[in-house]
């Protein structure tokens, strides 16, 4: 079982950070919200619609109002930056090419990569690829956007750019943002609301400042990166002396 | 003994499960046919990718196979004083058997493995999941065009293989071994039958194209999304395609030419 009795409301128009250690099911939660995975029990509602009770056509219509930024960027490698951002517009709208061009250039301008529109994904750095993926994710002006570990593997400059972009896009386009991350400082700096997951349960939730000041011991250890605490430094094992004097491996 | 039986049973369950998943995927791909008809550009792009880019290896192989066939055929036929039938022998062997079968085997090695690797890597790099989240059906957008491109491309490639094989046979037979030019072509024209040989060869190519491309896209879509998983899936594509083509060829030959 990955989740047990998780009950969570994502506030509309806010940036919600879902944090937790690796393997705590954060990405799985995003896939459940996006309808890519089906829960064995329980319901997930997006904008009042039960995601897993929808028909395929209804689910696809709902997804047109959702954006998702994958950890890898998930850019289509045979298309240029421009064509990647234009892709959802060409698939789902009947806009003319000149209109699509203007929209794509505006989206790329928002992420600072208008000048890179002719490049192929293989020519982009990791940070640039995620910015292009972000431009693509907001191409259809979705109501909500999900970020899967947006800061992982980024250099400080790219990370700063992404932090700023996520916050700006959320406020400018009145989005609802759900950000899965274990980068405490970055996620905490832009999140309005934080949920901490571990062992399939919600350990703590609240404003970032409140959690830093008054969260549980577990939350304190996680947010401050303490090596020992409720999550022990040592993996469960027999006493050291017993191990050293023993014969077996 | 029990372990051997258990392993055998597990392998059987895996095989049946795989066949079931492949069938479900095939149904989903066929359901995307209408969308493909409305957007023929998607099909043409894939025909270029799996067909046009495979032409060189098919053309060169066809030429060499035709030349070798003429050399061997001339050696045997001349023992019976029947060199004049060299053209028929080369053409019938190519159009009925070697053209469709060898083209399909080369297609599986060149285009089939590339399809599996491409789709497998799209899965590993979350491109397919990305399409789903953009409300684009990855089966219809990515797999259906590739399946029909393979079905369309293989007969054309087989025709190219056979045509160049005949030319290679003519060059060796007429140009190098002294078979009469007029006899070579006249015998071929008289004895190679449009329905019996050419249409049956075309039907074989269509069946092989369908089998090879289905196997290739299924292996890519079903692979474990890691570098090792993609590598294994690519190998499976070539092995399964080769076995499917050779097995299908026996069945189709028995149906078409058996009395």
Q: What's the confidence (pLDDT) of residue A1?
A: 76
| pTM of the model as a whole | 0.86
pLDDT band at A212 (very low <50, low <70, confident <90, very high): confident
Cβ–Cβ under 8 Å, residues A86 and A118: no
Q: Is A66 on the interface with B (CB under 8 A)?
A: yes
Q: Which of B135, B137, B141 sits opposite A64 (nearest CB)?
A: B135
What residues of chain B lie within 8 A of the CB of A76, using their CB?
A: 127, 130
The closest of A182, A169, A172 to A67, measured between CA atoms, is A169
Closest Cα in chain B, distance from residue A3 (Å): 22
Out of A61, A63, A74, closest to residue B127 by CB: A74
State the Cα–Cα distance between residues B256 and B249, nearest whole angstrom. 10
B133 lies within 8 A of chain A by CB: yes
Q: How confident is the model over A138-170, as pLDDT tens digits?
A: 999 899 999 998 888 788 888 888 888 889 889
Each domain of chain B, given as residue ranges in start order, spans 2-257
Specify the pairing of strand A15-19 against strand A176-181.
Answer: parallel
Angle between helices A156-172 and A126-137 (to 10 degrees): 10
Answer yes or no: are the C-beta atoms of B74 and B178 closer than 8 Å.
no
Q: Which residues of B touch A180 (CB under 8 A)?
A: none
Using alpha carbons, select from A44, A51, A47, A45 the residue that is nearest to residue A12: A47
Counting Cβ atoms within 10 Å, is residue A78 exposed (0-12), middle (13-18) or buried (19+)? middle
| Mean per-residue pLDDT over chain A, rounded | 87
Q: What is the DSSP letter of B196?
A: I
Please indicate if any CB of chain A lies within 8 Å of the CB of B31: no
Given the structure tokens 């989740």, which residue do they identify? Answer: A3
- pLDDT given for residue B247 in this prediction: 96
Q: What gap in Å lies between CA A14 and CA A228, rounded to an integer? A: 33
Q: How far apart are CA B235 and CA B232, in angstroms?
A: 5
Q: pLDDT by residue (tens digit) across A96-110?
A: 999 999 999 999 998
- pLDDT at residue B92, rounded to an integer: 93
**pLDDT confidence band for A133 (50 / 70 / 90):** very high
**Is A76 close to B126, i.e. CB distance below 8 A?**
no
Query: Do the chains contact at A68 and B130, CB–CB below 8 Å?
Result: yes
Interface test with A, best of B114, B118, B127, B134 (most A CBs within 10 A): B134
**Closest residue on chain A to B121 (Cα):** A77
pLDDT on residue A202 = 85
Residue A64, chain B, CB below 8 Å: the answer is yes
Q: Residue B151: how many CB atoms within 10 A of its CB?
A: 19
Q: What is the pLDDT of residue A165?
A: 86
Tokens at residue A150, please? 């947006």
Question: What percentage of chain A reaches a pLDDT higher than 90?
Answer: 39
Nearest to B126 among A66, A72, A136 (CB): A72
> pLDDT tens digit string along B236-259?
999 999 999 999 999 999 998 876
* CB-based contact A91 B136, cutoff 8 Å: yes
| Mean pLDDT within A225-239 | 79
Per-residue pLDDT, B259: 65
Residue A248 confidence (pLDDT): 64
The β-bridge relationship of strands A176-181 and A144-148 is: parallel
Contacts of B125 in chain A (CB under 8 A): 72, 74, 77
* A171 to A13, A108, A134, A176, B190: CA distances (angstroms): 8, 18, 15, 9, 79
Mean of the pLDDT values across residues A70-92? 92
Of B122, B130, B137, the CB nearest to A70: B130
Average confidence (pLDDT) per 10 residues, chain B, 259 residues: 88 91 94 91 93 94 96 92 90 93 96 95 93 93 95 96 96 92 91 89 95 96 93 96 96 86
The DSSP line for chain A is ---SS------TTSEEEEE--TTSSHHHHHHHHTTSS--SSS--EETTEEGGGS-HHHHHHHHTTEEEE-TT----TTS-HHHHHHHHHHHH----HHHHHHHHHHHHHHTT-GGGTT--GGGS-HHHHHHHHHHHHTTT--SEEEEESTTTT--HHHHHHHHHHHHHHHHHTT-EEEEEE--HHHHHHH-SEEEEEETTEEEEEE-HHHHHHH--HHHHHHHHT-SSSSS-SSPS-S-HHHHHH-S--
CB of A218 less than 8 A from some CB of B:
no
Does the beta-carbon distance from A75 to B134 stay under 8 Å? no
| Cα nearest neighbour of B125 on chain A | A74
Note whether A144 contacts B: Cβ–Cβ < 8 A: no
Q: Residue A238 has what pLDDT?
A: 84
pLDDT above 80 (res A63): yes
B250, burial (CB in 10 Å: exposed 0-12, middle 13-18, buried 19+): exposed
Given a cut of 80, is residue A176 above it in pLDDT?
yes
Stretch A61-65: mean pLDDT: 92
DSSP labels, A150-190 = TTTT--HHHHHHHHHHHHHHHHHTT-EEEEEE--HHHHHHH
B136–chain A Cβ distance below 8 A for any pair: yes
Closest Cβ opposite residue A63 in set B122, B127, B135: B135
Residue B100's nearest CA partner among B146, B179, B158, B148 is B158
Instruction: Concatenate the DSSP letters of all residues of B123-171 into one string.
Output: HHTTHHHHHHHTT--HIIIIIHHHHHHHHHHHHHHHHHHHHHHHHHHHI
Instruction: Name beta bridge partners: A148.
Output: A180
Residues 6+ apart with CB under 8 A from B223: B116, B119, B120, B123, B229, B230, B232, B233
How far apart are the C-alpha atoms of B164 and B59, rounded to whole Å? 6
Q: Which member of A74, A77, A92 has the closest CB to residue B129?
A: A74
Q: What is the pLDDT of residue B114?
A: 95
CA distance B52 to chain A (A): 18
Chain A residues whose CB is inside 8 A of the B129 CB are: 36, 70, 74
Rounded distance, CA B233 to CA B222, Å?
Answer: 8
Residues of A in contact with B134 (CB under 8 A): 63, 87-88, 91, 136
The answer to whether A218 and A203 are in contact (CB under 8 A) is: yes
- In angstroms, what separates the C-alpha of B32 from chain A's closest C-alpha? 14
* Nearest residue to B130 (alpha-carbon basis) of A136, A163, A25, A108: A136
């Amino acid at each position: 079982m990955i989740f047990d009795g998780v009950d969570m409301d994502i506030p509309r128009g806010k940036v919600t950070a879902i944090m937790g250690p690796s393997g705590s099911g954060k990405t799985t939660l995003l896939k459940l919200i996006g309808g890519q995975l089906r829960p064995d029990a329980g319901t997930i509602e997006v904008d009042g619609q039960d995601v897993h009770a929808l028909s395929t056509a209804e689910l696809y219509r709902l997804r047109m109002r959702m954006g998702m930024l994958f950890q890898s960027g998930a850019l289509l490698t045979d298309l240029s930056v421009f064509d990647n951002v234009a892709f959802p517009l060409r698939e789902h709208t009947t806009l003319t090419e000149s209109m699509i061009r203007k929209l794509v250039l505006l989206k790329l301008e928002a992420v600072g990569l208008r000048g890179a529109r002719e490049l192929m994904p293989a020519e982009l750095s990791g940070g640039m690829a995620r910015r292009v993926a972000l431009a693509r994710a907001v191409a259809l002006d979705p109501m909500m956007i999900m970020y899967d570990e947006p800061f992982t593997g980024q250099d400080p400059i790219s990370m700063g750019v992404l932090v700023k972009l996520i916050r700006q896009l959320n406020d400018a386009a009145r989005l609802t943002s759900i950000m899965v991350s274990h980068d405490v400082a970055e996620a905490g700096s832009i999140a309005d609301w934080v949920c901490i997951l571990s062992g399939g349960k919600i350990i703590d939730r609240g404003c970032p400042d409140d959690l830093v000041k008054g969260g549980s011991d577990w939350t304190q250890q996680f947010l401050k990166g303490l090596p020992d605490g409720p999550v022990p430094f040592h993996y469960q094992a027999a006493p050291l002396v017993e191990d050293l004097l023993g014969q077996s491996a | 003994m029990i372990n051997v039986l258990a392993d055998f049973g597990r392998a059987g369950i895996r095989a049946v499960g795989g066949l079931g998943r492949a069938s479900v995927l095939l149904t989903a791909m066929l359901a995307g046919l209408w969308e493909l008809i409305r957007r023929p550009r998607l099909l043409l792009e894939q025909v270029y990718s799996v067909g046009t880019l495979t032409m060189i290896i098919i053309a060169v192989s066809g030429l060499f196979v035709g030349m070798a066939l003429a050399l061997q055929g001339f050696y045997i036929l001349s023992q019976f004083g029947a060199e004049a039938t060299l053209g028929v022998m080369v053409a019938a062997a190519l159009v009925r058997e070697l053209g469709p079968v060898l083209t399909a085997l080369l297609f599986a090695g060149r285009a089939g493995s590339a399809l599996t690797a491409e789709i497998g890597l799209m899965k590993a790099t979350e491109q397919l999941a990305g399409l789903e989240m953009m409300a684009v059906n990855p089966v219809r957008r990515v797999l259906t065009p590739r399946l029909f491109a393979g079905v369309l491309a293989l007969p054309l490639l087989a025709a190219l293989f056979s045509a160049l094989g005949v030319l290679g046979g003519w060059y060796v037979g007429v140009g190098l071994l002294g078979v009469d030019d007029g006899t070579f072509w006249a015998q071929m024209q008289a004895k190679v039958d449009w329905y019996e040989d050419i249409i049956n060869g075309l039907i074989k190519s269509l069946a092989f194209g369908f089998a090879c491309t289905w196997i290739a896209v299924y292996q890519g879509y079903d692979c474990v999304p890691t570098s090792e998983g993609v590598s294994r899936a690519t190998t499976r594509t070539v092995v399964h395609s080769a076995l499917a083509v050779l097995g299908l060829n026996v069945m189709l030959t028995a149906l078409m030419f058996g009395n």
